[in-house]
Structure 1
């Protein structure tokens, strides 16, 4: 139950969770392609004929990349929409917030600041949800810090993978493949912690908004009877 200025974040949260797990499957597919690439490059290093193996690895990687990129775009859109909604709800709960709903999304695309400000935006939403009158007294939960740590590590690995993709030799291909596998490994706790953040904050915020709406309804009813 919410009023006209707020919105239940749980529906878009469920969509975001479903999409980030589908994107994880695409990332695991990339890791499978990376393993096939490593095996093919090892065969080449031994002097074996590995043309078919390289072609197979390339096919797996290309197919997984298409699935991953498509689902990643959809998942990112859903997660950013969820962030926008919880930030807007938090602003309706507390006047102490400094980062607007729009900037809680835009900061992700700003170089350097995107490594810090999005975390600050979501932290203020969490604190304002728990204690609207005094959000600064609320500690940021560990699950939020873990999610952001995994996110930053994932970004670093993706950046390394892109740089290694420019290499033409087998060594660069193998190194890039191992980094891709590492990225898939990190994506598992990243997805799990983001799921927990979405579920917990959505549930807490919806409960606060429901109590707030009920309180206003009762107050309106009391004022109406007083007349």
Structure 2
């Protein structure tokens, strides 16, 4: 897949639109996925949510998939914008989104991509605070906890145990929601920082 070559101004406009969508989609997908996780767990062989909530669980899965796809597109566009502004990056815009879907590499490469984007967008202009910088590993840590926990909960028998019902499922739900909120913060901060790229390029 080739990433469309846009001018820096066009790229910034597209990034801003993706950021606007992710700003509401990420929290919504976090909440919906939590509902989906709780709704698919069982207590004594019975669902913890009534059947009327089944559509909400389905919508949660759809929202999560859409959030992952759009987040990958956002990474690619943010990367491409930096390249258009003359920044030297290790990762290209194609791999910036593709790493998310590569087995094993998807556990650490998207973090490398985001860290590079963060460094060149936010830290480059000295806009980040210590708390902002800490958000990056917090986001990825929460995401890994959610993904690993979800894989464990899907194993036969674990979900129906007391550990699965009262520990694993709640931890996965909270971690997934936290990852969505933290990513929302990162996305908005980077988008704000990149808004100054066009002006900086003109006066460079």
Structure 2-normalised TM-score?
Answer: 0.79
Structure 1 pair 22/5, CA: closer, same or farther in 2 (3 Å)? closer
For residue 24 of structure 1, what is the aligned residue in structure 2?
A: 30
Unaligned runs of 5+ in 1: 45-53, 134-139, 217-227
- Separation of aligned partners in 2, 1:151 and 1:132: 26
Q: How many angstroms does 1:34 deviate by?
A: 5.8
Q: How many angstroms does 1:187 deviate by?
A: 2.1
Q: How does 1:38-57 map to 2 (within 5 A)?
A: 38=43, 41=44, 54=46, 57=49
SS in 2 for 1:99: coil
Higher mean displacement: 94-103 or 82-91: 94-103
Decide whether the 8 Å contact of 2:75 with 2:97 is kept in 1.
yes
1:116-142 deviations in Å (ceiling 9; x for gaps) = 211111111122224669xxxxxx921
1:98-151 deviations in Å (ceiling 9; x for gaps) = 110110111112222222211111111122224669xxxxxx921111111111
Structure 1 pair 177/65, CA: closer, same or farther in 2 (3 Å)? farther
1:167-191 deviations in Å (ceiling 9; x for gaps) = 3xxx741444332222111123212
Q: How does 1:138-149 map to 2 (within 5 A)?
A: 141-149=133-141
Structure 1 pair 122/55, CA: closer, same or farther in 2 (3 Å)? closer
For residue 193 of structure 2, what is the aligned residue in structure 1?
A: 204
- Separation of aligned partners in 2, 1:162 and 1:56: 16
For residue 3 of structure 2, what is the aligned residue in structure 1?
A: none
For residue 59 of structure 2, what is the aligned residue in structure 1?
A: 67
1:35-69 deviations in Å (ceiling 9; x for gaps) = 7x33xx2xx8xxxxxxxxx2674626633320111
SS in 1 for 2:12: coil
The structure 2 residue matched to 1:154, chosen from 146, 154, 177, is: 146
Higher mean displacement: 152-161 or 60-69: 60-69
Q: How many angstroms does 1:86 deviate by?
A: 0.3
SS in 1 for 2:73: helix
Bigger Rg, structure 1 or 2: 1
Decide whether the 8 Å contact of 2:27 with 2:180 is kept in 1.
yes
In angstroms, what is the RMSD of aligned CA positions? 2.8
- Separation of aligned partners in 2, 1:98 and 1:156: 27
Q: How many angstroms does 1:83 deviate by?
A: 0.9
Structure 1 pair 19/172, CA: closer, same or farther in 2 (3 Å)? closer
For residue 179 of structure 2, what is the aligned residue in structure 1?
A: 190
Which structure has more helix as a fraction of its residues? 1
Q: How many angstroms does 1:97 deviate by?
A: 0.7
